[in-house]
Amino acid sequence: MIQLSVQKTLAGADGPFNLSVDFVLPSENLLTLYGKSGSGKTTLLRMLAGLAKPDSGYIKVNGKTWFDSSANINLSPQKRKVGLVFQDYALFPTMTVRENLRFAQESNNEQKVKELLELTGLAALSNRFPSTLSGGQQQRVALARAILREPEILLLDEPLSALDQQTRNKLQNEILKFHKRFKLTTILVSHDKQEVFKLSDTVALIDRGTITRNGTPREVFFDKITSNKFSFASTILSIRKVDCIYLAVIGAGNELVEVVLSESDIETLKVGDEVLVASKAFNPIVIKL
Amino acid sequence: MINPEPLILTLKLAGLTTAILYVVGLPVAWFLSQSRMRLKPVLEAVLALPLVLPPSVLGFYFLLAFSRQGWLGGLWEKAFDHQLAFSFDGLVFGSVIFSFPFMVHPLQAGFNAIPRNLSEASYSLGKSTLETLIKVILPAMKSSILTGGVLAFAHTVGEFGVVLMIGGSIEGKTKVASIAIYDLVESLDYNSAHIYSAILFAFSFMILLTVYLVNKKLDIR
């Protein structure tokens, strides 16, 4: 369990603002921090990792105090068991994939390295240098390296935002798989609503340093719809007029769906909008594959 | 046949200077790359002075400091029982300072080129600053380390004015190759001057060629 209450003055693009965040995150949960860039999400992750110091407050992880301004406690990054994954992977360029993974271990356990290499599908690449890998492969190495640290929190700072949609989907599944398999407590920073829906147990909306809403992704993003039977988050790819109705093509993951929209829908929706497609009473055909 | 002593002395001086500069230069360059202090530009300017000052100016001040009456020379003589000026030790001292920016600038640029993420990733994997430096940062800047060493070495080999001022031209002690050439030309012995010069010429070219070849290889990976 993570208990956090931190305050810090940050220099924003339009003047300084106060980062002031409190939350409690139960173990094995996945929390997403969602918000505009410059709202303090990354700083929050850095504070958890010990790379930035709050002005005041406390951070407690599984009963241990990592930071407490009133007691003058501030554990160094080395003493906090954190798995950190950056947007640009931050792999050590002079080490092979296997050496990158070994570096994360306190005592060498080749069996575990092997297990993770196989789980991430990196076994065949284990002697390659990071610069010879694709973005998706590099991020897999970074993820495996963070997990080998045996972290009490896994911190993912926009880990997939530099990757293409297909790779992103695959890696989202892997993040979810690892999160469950290793019973991790995970905090993810993301800009991508589909990703938030797919991965998070809870999401916190951050705006200029404060959490404005939090709850399940559905509660936070779509508070009006409460009892849909079936829904998915997606993006409007195109809208065209056919006779008196409008047809919108909506992308959900790798699938494309065509949906009928009315004149009044068109007034509020445009191409590129992120939407929730939901159906309250419906009768889908289910066919065994 | 020519006397090999000045050439050997030159190599000894350049080798020792480079070794000392690695020991002193790495921490200084690391500090400069990390530091956010307000006085950093002043410090950087002082350290870069040998790049622009005439060697005779530096040599003159060194001579004052290294002599028996100078503060450093006085201390040195008490400690080691011989004069610092006009000695090989004095030459090493002067060369270290004179070649300092040639070592520190490439190293500092190398440190700056390493993304902060790398050291932060290493810290959060539980590694100390020193372990991070040795295992993560230094291996990632091999070409800067090589460049710094070679520039410092080559610059010391080519040094003339400072060495002449603080070393004099004492056979077997402070008469390095560049000064030997000057003396030979003065005494109209062009033959021997040619031999020394050609050796230095070929040697310098080989060093630089090696650096470019090795750096190309490092870059490719």
Residue B47: inside a domain = no
Interface pTM, i.e. ipTM: 0.78
**pLDDT at residue A3 tops 70:** yes
Counting Cβ atoms within 10 Å, is residue A279 exposed (0-12), middle (13-18) or buried (19+)?
exposed
Q: Which two tokens stand for residue A114?
A: 């092997």
Q: Which of A92, A100, A138, A158 to mutate to test the interface with B (most CBs of B within 10 A)?
A: A92
Counting Cβ atoms within 10 Å, is residue B39 exposed (0-12), middle (13-18) or buried (19+)?
exposed
- Rounded to whole angstroms, the maximal C-alpha distance in chain A is 70
B193 contacts B186 by C-beta, under 8 angstroms? no
Asked if the Cβ–Cβ distance from B120 to A51 is below 8 Å, we say yes
b/e A25-52 (16+ beta carbons within 10 angstroms → b):
beeebbbbbbbeebbbbbbbbbbbbbbb
Asked if the Cβ–Cβ distance from B127 to A78 is below 8 Å, we say yes
**Minimum CA–CA partner of A47 in chain B:** B124
- Quick one: how far is CA B11 from the chain centroid? 12
**In angstroms, rounded to a whole number, what is the distance separating the alpha carbons of residues A112 and A167?**
25
Asked if the Cβ–Cβ distance from A84 to B120 is below 8 Å, we say yes
**pLDDT at residue A287 tops 90:** no
Q: What is the pLDDT of residue A98?
A: 96
Asked if the Cβ–Cβ distance from A149 to B124 is below 8 Å, we say yes
Residue B69 carries which DSSP code?
A: T
Residue B45: inside a domain = no
Residue B200: inside a domain = yes
Chain B residues at the A interface, defined by Cβ less than 8 Å, are: 115, 117-118, 120-128, 135-136, 139-140, 142, 221
Q: What is the pLDDT of residue B83?
A: 85
**pLDDT at residue B131 tops 90:** yes
- Please state, rounded to an integer, the average pLDDT across all residues of chain B: 91
Asked if the Cβ–Cβ distance from B135 to A103 is below 8 Å, we say yes
CATH classification of A230-279 is 1.10.3720.10, yes or no? Answer: no
The contacts of residue A36 (CB under 8 Å, 6+ apart) are: A207
Q: What is the pLDDT of residue A230?
A: 66
Domain ranges in chain A are 2-221, 230-279
Which amino acid, residue A69? S
Residue numbers in A near B123 (CB within 8 A): 50-51, 76-78
For the domain spanning A2-221, the CATH number is 3.40.50.300
Q: What is the pLDDT of residue B221?
A: 53
A280 pLDDT band, cuts 50/70/90, is: low
B198 pLDDT band, cuts 50/70/90, is: very high
Q: How many domains does chain B have?
A: 1
Residue B42: inside a domain = no
CATH number at residue B170: 1.10.3720.10
pLDDT, tens digit (0-9, with 9 covering 90-100), for B71-107: 888 888 888 888 888 889 999 999 999 999 999 999 9
Q: Which residue has the tokens 């419906």?
A: A282
H-assigned helices in chain B: 5-34, 40-52, 55-66, 71-80, 88-98, 100-113, 116-124, 129-132, 138-140, 142-157, 161-167, 177-186, 190-220
**pLDDT at residue B47 tops 80:** yes
Domain that residue B204 falls in: 5-35+53-220
Q: Which of A79, A90, A106 lies at the smallest CB-CB distance from B117?
A: A90
Asked if the Cβ–Cβ distance from A90 to B128 is below 8 Å, we say no
**pLDDT at residue A229 tops 70:** no
Residue B11: inside a domain = yes
Q: Of A160-164, A279-283, B149-153, B208-212, which has the strongest mean pLDDT?
A: B149-153
Residue numbers in B near A129 (CB within 8 A): 221
Residue B43: inside a domain = no
pLDDT, tens digit (0-9, with 9 covering 90-100), for A61-100: 999 999 999 999 999 999 999 999 998 999 999 999 999 9
Residue numbers in A near B139 (CB within 8 A): 94
Q: What is the pLDDT of residue A165?
A: 83
Query: From start to end of chain A, where are the E strands?
Result: 2-12, 15-25, 30-34, 56-61, 64-68, 73-74, 82-85, 153-157, 186-190, 202-207, 210-215, 230-242, 245-252, 255-261, 274-279
pLDDT, tens digit (0-9, with 9 covering 90-100), for B137-181: 999 999 999 999 999 999 999 889 899 999 888 888 888 999 999
